[in-house]
Amino acid sequence: MVNAAFRIQASTRQTGTDVAIGRGTVELLGGLPGMPDLNEQLLQLKGYDEGVKVWSASFESIRTDVRRSG
């Protein structure tokens, strides 16, 4: 099994974003106030036969969302 966390974080090169997280992290953080808007994409990650859902955002969009929820 390929290390999913490494592959997901490496996907920032594909998405052009600063941060990428997987389903488990999204489920843990989803109910928190101030959770930034994340871009959901289905990506083909190296070492995986099927596409993997990845959520990503730029540092700037995260800063903006956190300040807005303030």
The structural domains of the chain, with segments of one domain joined by +, span 4-69
pLDDT score, position 68: 82
Other beta carbons within 10 Å of 11: 21
Strand, helix or coil for residue 35: coil
Strand blocks (E) in the chain: 19-21, 39-43, 52-57
pLDDT at position 53 is: 94
Three-state secondary structure call for residue 2:
coil
pLDDT at 26 over 60: yes
CA neighbor of 41 nearest in space, from 30, 32, 31, 51: 51
35 vs 62 pLDDT, higher one: 62
Tell me the average pLDDT of the chain: 87
| Pairing state between β 39-43 and 19-21 | unpaired
pLDDT band at residue 1 under the 50/70/90 scheme: very low
